[in-house]
Amino acid sequence: MKKIFLLIALVLCGAATYAQQKRKLVWSDEFNYKGQPDPRKWDYEDGFVRNNEPQYYTTKRLENCRVENGTLVIEARKEEFPNTRYKSGSTNWAEKEQFAHYTSASLITKGKADWKYGRIEVRAKVATGAGAWPAIWMLGTNRGAVKWPDCGEIDIMEYLGRDPSKVYGTVHYADSLGKYQHQGESPIVGAPADGFHIYALEWYPDRFEFYYDNLKYFVFDISKAQQKEGNIFQKNFYLLLNLALGHEGSWAGPFNDNLLPLKYYVDYVRVYQ
């Protein structure tokens, strides 16, 4: 009986290896250079962007985002930094503060590269500690033309410093009635912050498969996002890499700024189709 189980395991392993070999690498950044991220591949989010998060995303600033020693480093720092969107008297949270007190970076491929289907694979070492919130995720390229969640969101990896033994894979979308829905899983995987791990999305026309290293921990049926205009998850998406900070009342929880600076390391990003 043991021999039968071993044979089945070998066949399955061989099938997975064969599938991997059949894929073609269509886009990657190995970060085998030094300085700012490759501008042919990456752009930046700028300012206070979402969720009332306290970090201010800077652009082309080595203190917050740089490539060194073969890895991308995204660093959250405690410092005073001018808010270019400041408007005196504004009640908009993104405009009312003249200075930010924390900085970080969010890299995006929007306008540079986007994909439909394939394997998106990132090898990374997450930042940890109370309120740390590193992520690998995707948004539909029609973001802006349509509101969220109609554009769809695929969270390949979110890590919460307050919950250090888990990773989160989540899908956000609007259903056929236009109502917001989300579905995901958060397996206990040990201690992701202790080293580099592979976070991957296998994207097929009918489903998503989420991976932590070799562990497939979540499968999502894309048909759940079917709308009259079609299915958002059968359209192109762009990639985001960012290090956010939580706050009181947020999903990530409040952060301890005594832990800053925090560093989030990315060894490579590869897209196969």
Residues noted as catalytic: 153, 158
Cα–Cα distances in angstroms (integers) from residue 194 to residues 88, 116, 191, in the given order = 44, 32, 6
List beta partners, residue 231.
Answer: 226
Length of the chain counted residue by residue: 273
| SS3 track for 101-166 | EEEECEEECCCCCCECCEEEEEEEECCCCCCEEEEEEEEECCECCECCCCCCEEEEEECCCCCCCE
Residue whose C-alpha is closest to residue 100's, from 137, 144, 64, 62: 64
Residue 67: CB atoms within 10 A of its CB come to 20
261: preceding bond cis by omega (within 30 degrees): yes
